[in-house]
Amino acid sequence: MSEAPPRPGAAPPFPPTSRDRPRKTAVVASTPSDSHTWGLVVLQCVLEEAGFFVRNLGACCPVDVLLDECRAAPPTLVAISTVNGHGRVEGAELISAFRRVPGLSDVPVVIGGMLTTGGTGRREVVAELTGLGFTGVFVGDAALREFRDHLAWADAHAR
Ligand code: B12
């Protein structure tokens, strides 16, 4: 049976329902206090280049909104951008809440940007956040390159 045409002006369905549905979907958001938007835009572009259909929830995204979105349609990947310096604390809260949700415990979630003020304790922060359940933590000048490598690796190892 063919699908009904979308209502004019309606948001596109997520995940897309057409026959040419992309295999990979990603949800992109910032942490609740972070109002910086351009890192999110860059992240969306990188993911689209890598073949993802992206739902960008925008800046200052409440954790509950992110969880509801992911519960409704678990994505292939969640990518969090944060640069205001609160990423270590808010990232820890976010991933702890995320991993408690049934059905989301295995969804890959990455975070990147500037997670502390002044780039302090980079190695400890990466270890701490991966220990809590992030599948990737990307900071510093090489963050985007390492993220692209991570996506390529995940593609190569996809079942
Ligand atoms: C523009 C800007 C703002 C604007 C944002 C407007 C908007 N609509 O986005 C406004 C004025 C609102 C603002 C406010 C604040 N800002 Co501001 N802001 C900046 C500024 C000048 C540019 C940020 C930007 O857009 N860069 C362009 C984007 C494309 O780059 P990006 O965000 O850095 O992201 C890159 C990487 O970090 C990485 N990345 C980011 N996310 C992710 C995620 C993943 C998964 C990966 C792999 C990579 C990745 O990839 C991106 C591309 O290379 C920076 C300084 C700077 N030059 O970076 C400060 C800066 C980020 N802000 C800062 C601060 C402190 C604040 C305020 C707290 C200031 C204040 N006292 O009010 C508030 C916080 C507001 C809030 N609630 O979050 C600090 C953060 C300090 C820190 N972390 O150590 C910075 C670094 C300035 C500084 N040097 O002190 N800011």
pTM of the full predicted structure? 0.91
Place of tokens 């809590």: 132
pLDDT tens-place string over residues 6-45: 666 666 666 665 555 557 999 999 999 999 999 999 999 9
Tell me, what's the pLDDT at 138?
Answer: 96
Tell me, what's the pLDDT at 121?
Answer: 78
pLDDT tens-place string over residues 74-126: 999 999 999 999 999 999 999 999 999 999 999 999 999 999 998 777 889 99
> What is the number of the ligand 1 atom nearest to the C-alpha of 144?
47
Q: Above pLDDT 70, what percent of the chain?
A: 86
Tell me, what's the pLDDT at 20?
Answer: 54
Greatest alpha-carbon span in the chain? 56
> What is the number of the ligand 1 atom nearest to the C-alpha of 30?
41
Using 50, 70 and 90 to split pLDDT, how confident is the model at 46?
very high
Which domains are delineated in the chain?
A: 33-139+147-156 (3.40.50.280)
In order, the DSSP letters of 108-147 are -EEEEE--SGGGTTHHHHHHHHHHHT-SEEEESTTHHHHH
Find the residues whose C-beta lies inside 6 A of ligand 1.
33-39, 42-43, 79, 81, 83-85, 110-114, 117-118, 138, 143-144, 147
Tell me, what's the pLDDT at 18?
Answer: 55
**Which residue's CA is the closest to the ligand 1 atom numbered 11?**
36
Tell me, what's the pLDDT at 1?
Answer: 47
